[in-house]
Amino acid sequence: MNAPVPKLTQLSNCAGCAAKLRPDVLHDVLRGISNTKVKAALVGFETSDDAAVYQLRSDLAVVETVDFFPPVLDDPFAYGQIAAANAMSDIWAMGATPIFALNIVAFPKELPIEILHEILAGGASKAKEAGIPILGGHSIQSPEPKYGMAVTGTIHPKKILTNAGGKAGDVLILTKPIGTGIATTALKRGLASKALITRVTKQMATLNKAAGEVFASGKFKVNALTDVTGFGLLGHGLELARGAKLRAVIELERVPLLPEIASLAEQGVVPGGTKTNLEHAQKGVTFPEGLPEAIKQVLADAQTNGGLLACVPAKDATKALKLLASKKVEAWPIGWLEKGKPGLTIA
């Protein structure tokens, strides 16, 4: 008798973007490793930005990113969609336009090959939705399945939106609710409701294309842009603040949450990546006195294909929100940047 096929999440050590190495670990790993410096390299890993940017000519730069992770769901098609959407997000987070992708696959030889077919079909469906071709890729055998993409985009060198250009007075605008890490952990433990599974699956598979195109439209000023992924709202908020050498203030009551997330966190349904995010981020964060640990964990929750987080001048914030709404993109003003010691305050 054949052994039953395990669920994809049973093969995953940690789900989605919660699998990322911590920023301080990456810093230690890269310390002392020399890197060739060239004038055409406009954005590299030094600023913890979303993608690399390399100038080809005075009016053209190539934007490159790579992202892959273990399964966040048991449905292989949905997993493929989410991994592909997440990989493409970093291109839009730079204000750029994706032009093609390459698949990255690790797959256990014991699993039916039909599962891999479904994963790749899911990725292909999102590439088609984004309007880009998949031109190849690379695959290996591995005990833990992993899927993602290397994505190439283009941008004018003078229109790059980094995570380091915020100005004092900017409004922080977020385009998706947070809580996907806690939600997928609940799913893995059999504690997520059907409604939550449906909601989080749809959100994680939603492209950031419409939001990215609005922020890159030039119809209003955007001083900085990033996406909220594996380091959580706290981690990516800190990157924006430190990049701008300013203080970010996030109003807790304005932060949108997926349903059930606060309750699940209070029950201890929290991924390991979220806990390490909080441990790392809280060195630069000031919390209100008496804020429960569970709420801190929600703010640090490792997101998979989370929303875009933009720094927009206050005078342009209303216009930005209206344009996003016109493209059916939900968005919330959750705080601002102000002069002060670089870091983050939760108000």
| Residues that are catalytic | 17
DSSP for residue 50: S
How many other C-beta atoms are found inside a 10 Å radius of the C-beta of residue 301?
31
Indicate the SS3 state at residue 314: helix
319 membership: H or E segment, kind and range: helix 314-326
Q: What is the DSSP string of 68-136?
A: EE--SSS-HHHHHHHHHHHHHHHHHTTT-EEEEEEEEEEE-TTS-HHHHHHHHHHHHHHHHHHT--EEE
Indicate the SS3 state at residue 286: strand
Q: How far apart are CA 54 and CA 61, in angstroms?
A: 5
Q: How far apart are CA 56 and CA 78, in angstroms?
A: 36
